[in-house]
Amino acid sequence: MKAAAMEEPLIAGSSGGGGAAEKNGGEEEGLVVTEVKKQVYLAGPLVVGMLLQNVVQMISVMFVGHLGELALSSASMATSFAGVTGFSLLAGMASSLDTLCGQAFGAKQHHMLGVYKQRAMLVLALVSVPIAAVWAFTGEILLLVGQDPEIAAGAGSYIRWMIPTLFVYGPLQCHVRFLQTQSAVVPVMLSAGATAANHVLVCWLLVHRLGLGAKGAALANAVSFLTNLSVLAIYVRLSPACRRTWTGFSGEAFRDVLGFLRLAVPSALMVCMEWWSFELLVLLSGLLANPKLETAVLSICLNTNSFAFMVPLGLGAAISTRVSNELGAGRPQAARLATRVVMLLAFLVGTSEGLVMVLVRNLWGYAYSNEEEVADYIAKMMPILAVSILFDAIQCVLSGVVRGCGRQQIGAFINLGAYYLAGIPVAFFFAFVCHLGGMGLWFGILCGLVVQMLLLLTITLCTNWDKEAMKAKDRVFSSSLPKDLAT
């Protein structure tokens, strides 16, 4: 009865007859169109913002590339190591705010968004301390795993100068999620754009003008991320749009940290399990018969995949916001409709991007290399990449649904099984037993994506949306109860 009451705004009354059925059909079509517009409005700026955030580290590596081959190799390895050991973990933990802030906003418990943001910033700052300690000994760690001594030393020096970035990246992610869950996505995009444009000047000043070289490029990341964070923090504190969600610093942020970790840890595992599996592919490619060719081709494929993945990633962020908002507001059928709409959008995006990859397969390799051998290999890989992009797009939005519902623990187990019990073993089998090389490695990742997508699709189709709405209400109001009693 309670669930039915929550759905009342979405259910049109009907008294039978063709006219009523036609009217209901028109209303349903109108709801779908409205939902598409909402998701496109959210996803568009988020896609641009994510691309611009990724550009910052790319620009730093490009500046280092002009300092010599050793400097470039060291910076590339350090950036990869930083992503695996630090940025993936912090981004994953911050994604728990997709659930917490999104559901609180939907339930109109606006003050809780600020509390959740502060709590996340506190936890991420504490987590950054041991990560910084690991980064301080990166050179020694890379030597222990058999990396070239010169490259290991250069990577160790580069990442030590990136340590300040670590303590800025966490709060930046928290601010982005805080704004995203209340649909304030345009400021996120504009701030990222201003930062990316400013980063070129920052790199030039530190690398060339002040003569810091590669160290300056590493430090430039912290300067630019701090600029991005500062712009968003000022917007949050001054914008009328955030007046209800940001009410100043509160002692409530120190309460129920363990409760936050129960959601943040599975959220981090969801992100890390997938992120690490792709990095593992690069390591495995170095063990193949022609490691230079295989590593170069796989790196191009990963770069292409990452670029194409930005659109589904934006859709995934949009659907996590839509689902969490609607569940928090007690409208489970609206969350269900949003899920169906985003699956259709993801299919269209994945199919379109895959078709483009197939059409440009004979030309794409030459954008990265003048070597005919590399271009021919890329041409063979592109159809497989096109199929993987389709499954990747669908699993990405389904992962967003999981975050919106607060079911990250299930998502973590799915990603663990899909990639480490299916994907990586299959990749090893095809690459080293069947001698398919880099193509075999990508077959393994494709297998992992298929398993992941099917498992996520199964739990999504079996979701009891009324029950998820009740869980969202319980989560929000159990968190805000002490303040409510106090008032």
* 206, 217 contact by CB (below 8 A): yes
Same domain, 65 and 188: yes
What confidence score (pLDDT) does residue 21 get?
53
Q: What is the pLDDT of residues 220-234, one digit of tens each?
A: 999 999 999 999 999
233 and 382 together in one domain: no
Q: In terms of domains, do 76 and 153 share one?
A: yes
Quick one: pLDDT at residue 18?
Answer: 53
CB atoms within 10 A of CB 293: 17
pLDDT at 479: 67
Q: Is 486 inside a domain boundary?
A: no
Question: Which residue type occupies 238?
Answer: L
**Of 206, 224, 255, which residue is a domain's last?**
255
Asked if 293 and 186 sit in the same domain, the reply is no
Mean residue pLDDT of the chain comes to 86
Q: Is residue 13 part of a domain?
A: no
- Residue 4: the pLDDT is 43
Residue pair 450/279 in contact by the 8 Å Cβ criterion: no
Residue 9, pLDDT score: 42
The pLDDT score that the predictor gives to residue 298 is: 80
Among 206, 234, 255, which residue terminates a domain? 255
236 and 124 housed in the same domain: yes
349, 423, 416, 334: which is closest to 386 by C-alpha? 349
Spell out a b/e string for 381-419, using b for 16 or more CB atoms within 10 Å of the CB, else e: bbebbbbbbbbbbbbbbbbbbbbbbbbbbebbebbbbbb
Query: pLDDT 10s per residue in the chain (487 long)?
Result: 444 444 444 333 334 455 555 556 666 778 888 898 999 998 999 888 888 887 887 788 778 877 776 787 788 788 888 988 999 999 999 999 999 999 999 999 999 999 999 999 999 999 999 999 999 999 899 888 777 788 888 889 999 999 999 999 999 999 999 999 999 999 999 999 999 888 989 999 998 888 888 889 889 999 999 999 999 999 999 999 899 999 888 888 888 888 899 999 999 999 898 888 888 887 787 777 777 777 778 878 887 888 888 899 999 999 999 999 999 999 999 999 999 999 999 999 999 999 999 999 888 888 777 778 888 888 999 999 999 999 999 999 999 999 999 999 999 999 999 999 999 999 999 989 998 888 899 999 999 999 999 999 999 999 999 999 999 998 888 765 554 444 4
Task: List pLDDT tens digits, range 20-33.
Answer: 555 566 667 788 88
Sign of the alpha-carbon torsion through 402, 408, 414, 418: positive
According to DSSP H, which parts of 95-148 are helical? 96-106, 111-136, 138-144
In a domain, 470, yes or no: yes
How many domains does the chain contain in total?
A: 2
Residue 248 CA to its chain's centroid (Å): 28
User: What is the tens place of the pLDDT at every residue in 233-246?
Assistant: 999 999 998 999 99
Query: Quick one: 290 and 355 in the same domain?
Result: yes
Whether residue 84 is contained in a domain is answered as yes
Q: Tell me, what's the pLDDT at 323?
A: 95
Do residues 372 and 300 share a domain?
A: yes
Q: What pLDDT is attached to residue 78?
A: 86
* Rg of the Cα atoms in the chain: 23
296 and 418 in a single domain? The answer is yes
Q: Is residue 137 part of a domain?
A: yes
285 phi and psi, to 5 degrees? -65, -25
pLDDT number for residue 337: 94
Structure pTM? 0.85
d(CA 377, CA 81): 27
Q: Domain ends where: 225, 255, 285?
A: 255
Is residue 243 located within the same domain as residue 214?
yes
Q: Is the same domain home to 289 and 229?
A: no
Q: In this structure, is residue 18 part of a structural domain? A: no
Range of 396's domain? 265-480
In terms of domains, do 396 and 359 share one? yes
In a domain, 23, yes or no: no
Task: Decide if 199 is inside a domain.
Answer: yes
Q: What is the per-residue pLDDT for 22?
A: 56
Which DSSP string do the residues of 29-68 spell out, in sequence order? HHHHHHHHHHHHHHHHHHHHHHHHHHHHHHHHHHHHHTT-
Alpha carbon distance 70, 457 (integer Å): 45
Residues 145, 228, single domain; the answer is yes
